[in-house]
Amino acid sequence: QNTVVIKTLNRVVKNFELIHEDFDFLLHYDQLENGIVRMSENHFEQIMIILLDNAVKYSEQIKKVDIIVEESKEDIKITVKDYGVGIPEKDLPKIFHRFYRVDKARSRAKGGNGLGLAIAKNLVEGYSGTISASSTLGEGTSISLTLPHHI
């Protein structure tokens, strides 16, 4: 079960561009040696949809999302970076918990159940990958996942 990362990202990004015409989705990568992760394409797509959906949902004035792909010896790291509302530091460790939502009133207005990131984490860890978040309140959020190469 393998996924060609850039090819799949291009397809997902194209769909997001059609749905969210007011946003810029920018895919950044250098020449990749391998470029293939050990994960089914369906699961990879599902994770990217969750992360891009959140980036759009929690952006305000700056409607820009960077998707950065970096390759190391063992794995491929994909970062989805937005310039939106951000997440308070105290909430950051909890956003991957089931049903956890920061600022319930504000989040509910945006729709959702607080399940997206829990599902993403489950999928990533099922393939021996990792997922993490960094954020500055009012400046934006980056969610990174690392997935082992297909050898």
Using CB under 6 A, list all residues that contact ligand ATP: 54-55, 58, 82, 84-87, 95, 100-102, 107, 112-118, 141
Amino acid at 103: D
Integer Cα distance of 30 and 69 in angstroms = 8
β-sheet bridge partners, residue 76: 71, 147
Q: How many residues does the chain have?
A: 151
Per-position DSSP letters for 27-84, written without gaps between them: EEE---SS-EESS-HHHHHHHHHHHHHHHHHT--S--EEEEEEEE-SSEEEEEEEE-S
> Which C-beta is closer to ligand ATP: that of 116 or that of 129?
116
Minimum Å distance from CB 29 to ligand ATP?
21
> Which C-beta is closer to ligand ATP: that of 2 or that of 112?
112
> Angle CA(96)–CA(102)–CA(117) in degrees, nearest 5?
25
> Which C-beta is closer to ligand ATP: that of 37 or that of 117?
117
Minimum Å distance from CB 35 to ligand ATP?
25
> Which C-beta is closer to ligand ATP: that of 59 or that of 71?
59
Minimum Å distance from CB 32 to ligand ATP?
25
Minimum Å distance from CB 151 to ligand ATP?
31
